[in-house]
Amino acid sequence: MISVIIPALNEVANIESVVAFACRCPAVGEVIVVDDGSVDGTPEAATRAGARVITSSLLGKGASMDDGLQAARGDILVYLDGDLRGLHDHLIELLANPIRQDQADFVKARFSRSAGRVTALTARPLLQTFFPEIASFTQPLGGIIAVRRALLEKLPFETDYGVDLALLIDAHFLGARIAEVDIGHLEHDSQSLEALGQMAKQVVRALMHRAERHGRLSINQVVEIEEVERQSRAEFSLVTGRLAGAERLALFDMDGTLLRDRSVVVLAKQTGRYAALCEFLDRQDLSPADRTRAIARLLAGVPRAAFEEVARTMELSEGARETIVALRKEGYRVGIVSDSYRIITEIVRRRVFADFSIANLMRFRDGIASGDVTLSPIFEHPNGCPGHPICKGNVLLHLEEKLGIPASRILSVGDSANDICLLRHSGTSIAFEPKTSEVAAAADFAIHADMQQVLAHLSVAK
């Protein structure tokens, strides 16, 4: 059963509509409003709308969330805010389904909104510094969540507005499977600058306590993250420096395209992690960023040498080297664009004689993978792919802008759903051994078996 819990303080303007919305969901067994001492008729309005109303044991959002947990009977708890407007018709199902399908234990809502200043100016910069492995969540302070009861009973509740961020961090360190689902655009009531200042202070306090608890509150942590960010920023400058004067580009996916298999699959099999990896491979309910971070966490503890060995020994697709050399002879500059790790793509790049590679950065400590990954900033673009904030298609935009090379002079080759946007927006696109009909449809041509067929189709495209 799903229990919907709504902490509320003086929300009479919206509480009835939020409660009625929750009651309409067939999967919801009960709706509980936890009143924080409202004086505007909120409890009465919530009761009229069909909620069971209880009074919070202590003023503050975190205490109300905890009281809701104690009063609820469901195995899955969904928390909503009392001031929400414009709710997605299937919001509760979207949040609860990853838990019901045993794909997640903790689900955060991802949504666009007109506000969010505390998130942008306080929470996200601090997460990137002290907890980069969970900094990709769009709304880390958002209170719209679904949580497995068995997990939530293990988590402490901050009593104030630091509660949502604290739950996210604590769930991560308990090893919970955390997912994020898109629920569209929401409207919240705006807060005064004074109120936002108080919220920011409470959020900072909760985060810093956890940074200290988990050994992150040190200058070494700050320096390490700054160095990782510096390397990521420098990556694009290095790439564009190598491409000075280029007139045509060819962009290849790596896993399943230049390599016959997927590097992370081979690595997981060799290190006894394949069963765990299968839970995340090709999970379309997870964003690319969430999936990348989840897979990286699975690889924590793997030696750097194992990554390098996989990159050196994996079988190349037939004709991969010959195709890239031929393209370079034709005046193309050739690059690998992969959601794998640079430690692998750079070795594969040298094996096939490509000019550059773009990939994510796995972090190592003393030669051992930490499980923390820094996503390449080149996969993001302020005016980029509307459907995927992290997208290979955004690489194309960056290269067009920086090098002045139009998409019409860019060739792309890929095989999977992650390559679709890149294929669609390239001047010439080829699906090599496409994994789905959607991938094949996104490309101008589909080829099989021998990569050198790229060259024949390229002459046709000309």
pLDDT single digits (tens) 131-174: 888 887 878 888 899 999 999 999 999 888 889 999 999 999 99
Contacts 24+ apart (CB under 8 A), 50-56: 50/19, 50/20, 50/23, 51/6, 51/19, 51/22, 51/23, 56/7
Mention every residue, 6+ apart, whose C-beta is less than 8 A from residue 322.
Answer: 451, 452
What is the spatial distance between Cα 375 and Cα 361, in angstroms, rounded to a whole number? 6
DSSP character string of 239-282: HHHHTTT--EEEEE-TBTTTBSS-HHHHHHHHTT-HHHHTTTTT
Which of 407, 380, 416, 411 shows the shortest CA–CA distance to 395? 380
Residues in the chain: 462
Mention every residue, 6+ apart, whose C-beta is less than 8 A from residue 270.
Answer: 306, 310
CA dihedral 37, 41, 42, 47 (to 10 degrees): 110
Strands 145-148 and 178-185: unpaired
What is the spatial distance between Cα 370 and Cα 61, in angstroms, rounded to a whole number? 34
Quick one: pLDDT at residue 233?
53
Place of tokens 């010439």: 428
Average pLDDT, the chain: 87
Mention every residue, 6+ apart, whose C-beta is less than 8 A from residue 127.
Answer: 134, 135, 140, 165, 207
What tokens were used for 309? 């060995």
Computed over its alpha carbons, how large is the radius of gyration of the chain? Answer: 24
**187-214 burial, b if ≥16 CB within 10 A, otherwise e?**
ebeeeeeeebeebbebbbebbeebbeee
Q: Name the pTM for this structure.
A: 0.58
On whether the CB atoms of residues 35 and 53 are closer than 8 A, the answer is yes
What's the order of all strands across the beta sheet hosting 76-79? Answer: 52-55, 28-35, 2-8, 76-79, 145-148, 106-112, 178-185
Ranges of residues in the chain with a pLDDT under 50 are 114-115, 460-462
Report helix, strand or coil for 436. coil
Q: Decide if domain 2-213 falls under CATH 3.90.550.10.
A: yes
On whether the CB atoms of residues 399 and 222 are closer than 8 A, the answer is no
CB atoms within 10 A of CB 342: 22
Question: Looking at the chain, which residues constitute the CATH 3.90.550.10 domain(s)?
Answer: 2-213
Residue 317: DSSP 8-state: P
Question: Looking at the chain, which residues constitute the CATH 3.40.50.1000 domain(s)?
Answer: 223-461
Cβ neighbourhood burial of 304 (10 Å; 0-12, 13-18, 19+): middle
Q: How far is CA 158 from the centre of its chain?
A: 25
What is the spatial distance between Cα 293 and Cα 280, in angstroms, rounded to a whole number? 10
What is the spatial distance between Cα 225 and Cα 219, in angstroms, rounded to a whole number? 10
Q: Tell me the CB-side half-sphere exposure of residue 66, using CA atoms within 13 A.
A: 16
What tokens were used for 157? 């509740």
H or E element: which one contains 363?
A: strand 356-365
Quick one: pLDDT at residue 437?
95
CA dihedral 380, 420, 110, 19 (to 10 degrees): 160
Mention every residue, 6+ apart, whose C-beta is less than 8 A from residue 24.
Answer: none
Quick one: pLDDT at residue 384?
81
Residue 186: DSSP 8-state: -
Q: For domain 223-461, which CATH number applies: 3.40.50.1370, 3.90.1150.10, 3.40.50.150, 3.40.50.1000?
A: 3.40.50.1000
What is the spatial distance between Cα 57 and Cα 63, in angstroms, rounded to a whole number? 7
Residue 103: DSSP 8-state: S
Over residues 329-355, the pLDDT tens digits come to: 999 999 999 999 999 999 999 999 999
